[in-house]
Amino acid sequence: MRIHLVPNSHIDPVWLCDKYEGIDEVLATFRSACDRLEEYPELTFSASSLQFYEWVLEYDRPLFERIKKNIAAGRWEIVGGWWVESDSNLPSEASMRKQAKLSKAFSLKHFGVSSDVAYLPDTFGHPATLPMILSETGFKYFIFCRPGAHENSDLPSNLFWWEYKGCK
């Protein structure tokens, strides 16, 4: 049996701190991730929220270049595909589509790739329209951690197909 563990970051940059403390947290996390990638050649890493990458571009250009090299080498994967990890219950469909569009444009411009993995590890629920929104904005996969079994025991299992087949 082979087990794969992929380190990732989930950062709520302004949940319990101000914007600049959040930016510092993002920079420190991404710097540490690059250091670990240099230390362990077999390691890969994933991180979301294109807003974070814009902050790195603005405040630490050498770190941005390190991230670009790791993305090009296939060792750093941008997941999420949205500007920030949004709450998928409250924003409008138009808002989620706009986030996907802005994020794809930024990612393609700076990294030459865009994410097909939607990533919402900390949202507390998902609307029934989410598979449609994900499909129509180019996502193939969706990773989420909530609700867990302790939060909603009605889910059939922790691994399942949830797909949008489109209207015919």
Among 4-13, 40-49, 123-132, 153-162, the range scoring the smallest mean pLDDT is: 153-162
Detail the DSSP E strand segments found in the chain: 8-9, 45-47, 76-78, 117-120, 141-144
**pTM given for the model:** 0.85
Segment 32-60, tens digit of pLDDT? 999 999 999 999 999 999 999 999 999 99
